[in-house]
Amino acid sequence: MDLNRLLRVSRGDAPADLLVANASIVNVFTREIVESSVAIVDGHIAGIGQYEAEQSVDLDGRYLAPGFIDPHLHIESSMASVSEFARGVLPSGTTTVVADPHEIANVLGTAGIEYMLQSSENQPMNVCFTLSSCVPATDMETSGARITADDMVQFLPHERILAVAEMMNFPGVIFGDPDILKKISYAKKYRKPVDGHSPGLGDKQLQAYIGAGISSDHECTALEEAREKLHAGMHVMIREGTGAKNLAGLLPLVNERNCRRLMWCTDDRHPHDLIRHGHIDSIVRDAIQGGLDPLIAIQMATLNPAEYFRIADVGAIAPGRRADMVVFSDLTSVQIDEVYSFGRVVARKGKLLPEIEKPSSIPVPRSMKVDISALDFSVPVQDGRLRVIQLVPQQIVTRQLLIEPTVAEGFTVSDTARDILKMAVVERHAGSGNIGVGFVNGFGLKHGALASSVAHDSHNIIVVGTNDADMKAAVVAVVEMGGGLAAVSETTLRALLPLPIAGLMTDMPLARIRDELDRLMIASTEMGVMIDDPFMALSFLALPVIPELKLTDEGLVDVGRFEIVSLFE
């Protein structure tokens, strides 16, 4: 920005580049509607009022609000590259995101963070980041990298690294783990907040967690939990994603007294939801329909996250800020007509304008070190009952079943009649050859196998199937794609989605990712699957920080005991 030029326009001594005239401006500072015009120069707002301009556009009384901000999300969960994610959500009015690259950091370490920073440059939206703090999440799995406090410090001066990301290891914070406290101290040194991740935490442990310097939380599911965290000084991000939906439960929390400490976030949204419902705009709409004052709903999507992260040039329509704005006709429905990013219209009626250029792709290291000739999923029979992971519908928590195993020729095998299926986690980062084998109930698969390189948090290859041959064929398909999702039956590939960017993302547009996922869902259903999104369910079965029983490449994890346990009791 040429500050002298902006000042000349602000004073009225020179014409603006563009005047957005006759607008009903949403003033998020005072929660008022102001009938006026906005003068723009060099992509920034020079002033509010009547100005001369080289060009003008008449909104004819339509509403003009700041562009929306998502303060916590994982772009990798969309399975789209940064460019395609930006092009997918910008038409919904999101002009700034603050992303945690936790997933790709667990695969590629600091190289993954570098990749996200580089690939987010020159985008038609403002892409900022928080710095992943828990890589890996535990020591009971093999991740692609380990990021220490000293590894993190190199990134903290970066202008688009706004905070330290969700501090998932809240026991480490509370009980003073030296490396965790060092990460927090580095954040304080660079005057950047530390985001929290503390589901269910309360009482004195919450006091300790906040006292260490944790500023926010997006994991609240209960009203009293969120209220306690607000009272203790936290900023609360109300999440409405694909797998975790907390808006309905937490909306009664919001009122005029506390709303400035609250924000909306999506955390994880899959392509179907992004295309069908939208992004932050959909949360704003749902909140308004739930009875919230529209101006509070918009303030929580704009000014609040901007001020929390100290992003001084976004979040409001005011002099000196970026001209990131959304246009809509109805304050109660907030259906986005047009989106301005950096002072130019980039989307109209839900479509990105065709002249918006796509930045060049950035190469990413391959992470698929698997010896397919050594794949062996056999489980010799042992004495005792079999520990089985039981899915809980619509949840990422699981239960433990103890059953008599089904045996064939001296091996424990899948039993489709009882819906007991073999599953495995194949280490893919270091070429260690680790394979953890277990059993799961709840998929309903009658034949074939499903495999994916999206397996939170370390993202090894996870596979479930009715027989070893199909399981091996599905894993081979994922390896040969360089990562992705695969459905196999009778050792024949039925559907696939390549995810060659760290085994997590692709350069395909969101709509094509959705279409490929639809083909995978159809193939899965034809193979007998009974749940809505088997690949999402599969992806969380390797997450050893969510109760009760999970599987990693190192074996079966009893999360309550926080240790590897035998497959047989």
Mean pLDDT in residue range 482-493: 97
pLDDT digits (tens, 9 = 90+) for 76-124: 999 999 999 999 999 999 999 999 999 999 999 999 999 999 999 999 9
pLDDT for res 163: 98
- Tell me how far CA of residue 25 lies from CA of 48, 198, 272, 305, in angstroms: 9, 37, 32, 19
CA–CA dist 281, 273 (Å, integer): 12
pLDDT for res 235: 98
* Number of alpha carbons in the 13 Å side-chain half-sphere of residue 85: 27
Q: In 10 A of CB 312, how many CB atoms? A: 12
* Number of alpha carbons in the 13 Å side-chain half-sphere of residue 25: 23
pLDDT for res 367: 84
Tell me the residue type at 206. L
Region class of 349: left (phi > 0), else alpha (psi between -120 and 50), else beta:
left
Q: Tell me, what DSSP letter sits at residue 81?
A: -
pLDDT digits (tens, 9 = 90+) for 26-35: 999 999 999 9
Q: In 10 A of CB 402, how many CB atoms? A: 11
Give ∠ CA 317-322-325 in degrees, rounded to 5: 55
C-alpha of 473 from chain center: 30
Please state whether beta strands 449-452 and 398-403 pair in parallel, antiparallel, or not at all (unpaired): unpaired
CA–CA dist 441, 315 (Å, integer): 47
CA–CA dist 303, 272 (Å, integer): 28
pLDDT digits (tens, 9 = 90+) for 460-484: 999 999 999 999 999 999 999 999 9
Strand order through the sheet with 386-391: 398-403, 386-391, 435-441, 420-426, 461-465, 449-452, 484-489, 492-498
Q: How confident is the model at residue 393 (pLDDT cuts 50, 70, 90)?
A: confident
Question: Among residues of the chain, what percentage have pLDDT more than 90?
Answer: 92
pLDDT for res 545: 81
**Summary mean pLDDT of the chain:** 96
pLDDT digits (tens, 9 = 90+) for 291-344: 999 999 999 999 999 999 999 999 999 999 999 999 999 999 999 999 999 999
Long-range contacts (CB closer than 8 Å, 24 or more residues apart) made by 395-402 = 396/243, 396/540, 396/543, 396/546, 397/546, 397/547, 397/548, 398/541, 398/546, 398/547, 398/548, 398/549, 398/550, 399/548, 399/549, 400/548, 400/549, 400/558, 401/441, 402/569
Q: How confident is the model at residue 369 (pLDDT cuts 50, 70, 90)?
A: very high
Name the nearest CA neighbour of 495 among 527, 467, 514, 523.
Answer: 523
User: What are the structural domains, with CATH classification, of the chain?
Assistant: 3-61 (2.30.40.10), 69-300 (3.20.20.140), 372-565 (no CATH)
CA–CA dist 211, 269 (Å, integer): 31
CA–CA dist 222, 104 (Å, integer): 30
pLDDT for res 137: 81
Would you state the structure tokens that stand for residue 330, as one six-digit string? 């109805």
What HEC string does 30-44 produce?
CCEEEEEEEEEECCE
pLDDT for res 561: 85
What HEC string does 526-561 produce?
HCCCCCCCHHHHHHCCCCCCCCCEEEECCEEEECCC
CA–CA dist 426, 123 (Å, integer): 35
Mean pLDDT in residue range 251-279: 96
Tell me the residue type at 191. R
pTM over 0.75: yes
Contact of 443 with 449, CB cutoff 8 Å: no
Please state whether beta strands 386-391 and 435-441 pair in parallel, antiparallel, or not at all (unpaired): parallel
pLDDT digits (tens, 9 = 90+) for 422-458: 999 999 999 999 999 999 999 999 999 999 999 998 9
Q: Can you point out the beta strands (E) in 317-446?
A: 325-328, 336-341, 344-348, 351-352, 386-391, 398-403, 407-408, 411-412, 420-426, 435-441
pLDDT for res 92: 98
Enumerate the H helices of 290-415 as residue ranges: 294-300, 303-308
Q: Identify the residue whose tokens are 């069908």.
A: 276
pLDDT for res 384: 95
Q: How confident is the model at residue 547 (pLDDT cuts 50, 70, 90)?
A: confident
Is 243's pLDDT higher than 80? Answer: no
For 489, the enclosing helix (H) or strand (E) is strand 484-489
Q: Tell me, what DSSP letter sits at residue 423?
A: E
* Number of alpha carbons in the 13 Å side-chain half-sphere of residue 117: 16
Query: DSSP secondary structure string, 182-199?
Result: HHHHHHHHTT--EEE--T
Please state whether beta strands 16-27 and 63-66 pair in parallel, antiparallel, or not at all (unpaired): parallel
pLDDT for res 365: 83
Q: Identify the residue whose tokens are 């939990």.
A: 225
pLDDT digits (tens, 9 = 90+) for 175-233: 999 999 999 999 999 999 999 999 889 999 999 999 999 999 999 989 999 999 999 99
Question: Among residues of the chain, what percentage have pLDDT more than 70?
Answer: 100
CA–CA dist 458, 438 (Å, integer): 18
pLDDT for res 317: 98
Contact of 280 with 263, CB cutoff 8 Å: no
Q: Identify the residue whose tokens are 């970026």.
A: 322
User: What is the chain's length?
Assistant: 569
Would you state the structure tokens that stand for residue 485, as one six-digit string? 């999702």
Contact of 322 with 329, CB cutoff 8 Å: no
Q: How confident is the model at residue 1 (pLDDT cuts 50, 70, 90)?
A: confident
Tell me the residue type at 31. R
Tell me the residue type at 255. N
Please state whether beta strands 126-131 and 94-99 pair in parallel, antiparallel, or not at all (unpaired): parallel
